Amino acid sequence: MEKQNKILVWDLPTRLFHWSLATCFFGAWITHEMEASGFWLHTIFGYSALALVLWRIAWGFLGSRYARFSNFLTTPRAALDYLRSAPEVEPLGHNPAGGWAIVAMLGLVAAQAISGLFNGGEILMEGPWYQAVPKWIQELAHEFHEVNFNLLLGIVGLHLGAIALHWVKRRHNLVPAMLHGYRTGKSGTEGIDSHKAWIAAALLALAVVAVWFIVSSAPPASTDPLDMF
Ligand code: HEM
Ligand code: HEM
């Protein structure tokens, strides 16, 4: 049997990103029902999710080998072929179908957070741009925030289902690698040799500033209660 080695695949920033995004997603979900006094938590989770997605897009170009889009984004046909043939030998990074699921999750999380900026209606529960846009955009954002969330639930369900299926069918648990970064593979396969932590930190700072700018450049909300009607 071929010798198997432990290979560092997921850099630390990618792993931190993943568990932070999952926390923000579940956090924003749990807090959407909070009273107005706890609504700030919903917005903090939402803004953080947006900053994380912006960071991950940049990391898809500047991150380490297996985190780059070029490593796991294939044509839709290649993803379908992968699903149809379910090859015994898996890629060391994300598989072609997983690659598309990742793009979908990033896109839907970004859309959820952006629509939240224009969502509102309940007293003291509104996104920073709610009062700056016409009513039809407010209504669209409200509707979209609700429908898109159901899509998100669907794709996250698929994500967790695919991981569970891998475990059951292939006896391969993908979760530990997202925690410690290592996978087993053929000896001689190239792992990553740097976490690129400084680049990751600089990109995170840029992403946070971008979100801060989007939020803080909204015109001040009206404090006149009659403006609500
Ligand atoms: C990953 C990010 C987010 C998730 C998963 C999320 C999820 C949700 C969900 C499930 C609802 C209830 C929808 C409904 O049934 O009507 C909701 C409501 C809402 N969200 Fe978000 N949200 C996110 C980000 C944001 C952001 C960034 C903002 C704006 C700062 C925001 C503002 C709102 C507002 C104003 C409501 C309506 C509250 C109400 O009227 O009851 N959300 N969100
Ligand atoms: C407790 C729940 C979760 C578990 C156990 C989990 C597990 C995993 C695992 C094992 C991978 C690596 C898959 C592979 O080897 O190719 C992964 C990747 C990923 N997951 Fe999750 N996940 C969870 C929740 C979520 C949620 C809620 C989201 C988004 C809303 C999410 C988004 C992603 C993304 C974007 C990736 C790609 C990571 C990257 O390369 O940056 N996950 N997840």
Q: Which of 15, 87, 98 is nearest to 52 (CA)?
A: 15
> In the prediction, which pLDDT does 34 show?
82
- Residue in 64, 102, 159 to alter for ligand 2 test, most ligand atoms within 8 A of Cβ: 159
pLDDT at 229: 46
Pocket lining: 145 vs ligand 2, CB cutoff 6 Å: no
| pLDDT confidence of residue 90 | 86
Separation in Å, CA 197 to CA 11, 54, 55: 9, 17, 13
Q: What is the pTM of this model?
A: 0.94
177 CA closest ligand 2 atom index: 10
* Nearest ligand, measured from the Cα of 166: 2
Using the predicted structure, report yes or no on whether residue 188 has a pLDDT greater than 90.
no
| E strand or H helix at 6 | strand 4-8
Instruction: Evaluate: CB of 55 within 6 angstroms of ligand 2.
Output: no
Q: How far is the CA of 74 from the centre of ligand 1 (A)?
A: 32
Two structure tokens written together for 69: 């889009």
Q: Supply the mean pLDDT for the chain.
A: 93
Q: Check residue 227 and give its pLDDT.
A: 52
Please name the residue whose Cα sits nearest to atom 31 of ligand 2.
22
Which of 109, 93, 23 minimizes the C-alpha distance to 60? 93
Contact 119, 126 (CB under 8 A): yes
CA-66 nearest atom, ligand 2:
40
Q: Which residue has the higher pLDDT, 3 or 209?
A: 209
Question: Helix, strand, or coil here: 185?
Answer: strand
C-alpha–C-alpha distance, residues 161 and 165, integer Å? 6
3-state secondary structure of 21: helix
Q: 23-73, pLDDT tens digit by residue?
A: 999 999 999 888 788 899 999 999 999 999 999 999 999 999 999 999 999
Q: Which of 229, 211, 198, 212 is nearest to 63 (CA)?
A: 198
What whole-number percentage of the chain has pLDDT above 90?
83
- Please report which ligand is nearest the Cα atom of 51: 1
How far does Cα 213 stand from its chain's mean position? 20
3-state secondary structure of 224: coil
Residue 43 CA, closest ligand 1 atom number: 30
Which tens digits make up the pLDDT trace of 89-133? Answer: 889 999 999 999 999 999 999 999 999 999 998 878 999 999 999
